[in-house]
Homo-oligomer: A and B are copies of this chain.
Amino acid sequence: MDELDSALVQLLQRDARQTNRELARQLGIAPSTCLERVRSLERRGVIRGYHAEIDTAALNRGVQAFVAVQIRPLSRTVIDSFTEFVAGLPQVVSAFVVAGGDDFLIHVAVQDLDHLHAFLVDRLSRRREIISYRSSVIYQQAHNTVLAALDEP
């Protein structure tokens, strides 16, 4: 993970469909060398994949929200089964097991407020392990598409 790798990771975060030759040109190295570097990053698991970013409106998801959930008991069995349940729902973008007052934080994207309500009432609240939940509609969001490596501690 030298300086060349960092630069490569940064370029591929910005645009994953650049040609290998274009990447090589920007780094000032030969295409064959560049390809070998990328392959190495993939093999080592540094690069986990390449994904297209899709406009949520095009996917018919006009409303997004976070749902903070408390579940009991907080055993591994219950956490794992609830995680699996949540991850399988098409409305769910991502889910987090967190410390603090809440146990789960779930990012959902649905058609509209009616569907958000239906999701909460018809899907989530059916789960017996939930003892409370509270949702926050998202007004705006900002995403950092390119993350750099932080300095050593």
Residue ranges of A at the interface with B (Cβ–Cβ < 8 Å): 1, 9, 12-17, 44-55, 58-61, 65-66, 79, 83, 86-87, 90-102, 105, 109-112, 114-115, 134-145, 147-153
Inside 8 A of A13's CB, which chain B residues have their CB?
51-52, 54
Given A1-B58, A66-B105, A153-B114, the answer on whether A50 and B47 have CB atoms closer than 8 Å is: no
Task: Count identical subunits in the complex.
Answer: 2
A52 x B49 contact (CB < 8 A): yes
A47 x B51 contact (CB < 8 A): no
A13 shortest CB reach to chain B, Å? 5
Given A100-B136, A136-B102, the answer on whether A49 and B53 have CB atoms closer than 8 Å is: yes
A135 x B100 contact (CB < 8 A): yes
A77 shortest CB reach to chain B, Å? 14
A153 shortest CB reach to chain B, Å? 5
B51 x A16 contact (CB < 8 A): yes
B149 x A97 contact (CB < 8 A): no
A141 x B50 contact (CB < 8 A): no
A53 x B58 contact (CB < 8 A): no
Given A12-B52, A55-B46, the answer on whether A66 and B96 have CB atoms closer than 8 Å is: yes
Inside 8 A of A92's CB, which chain B residues have their CB?
144
Inside 8 A of A90's CB, which chain B residues have their CB?
147-148, 150
A-B pairs with the 4 shortest C-beta distances?
Answer: A12-B52, A100-B136, A16-B50, A98-B136
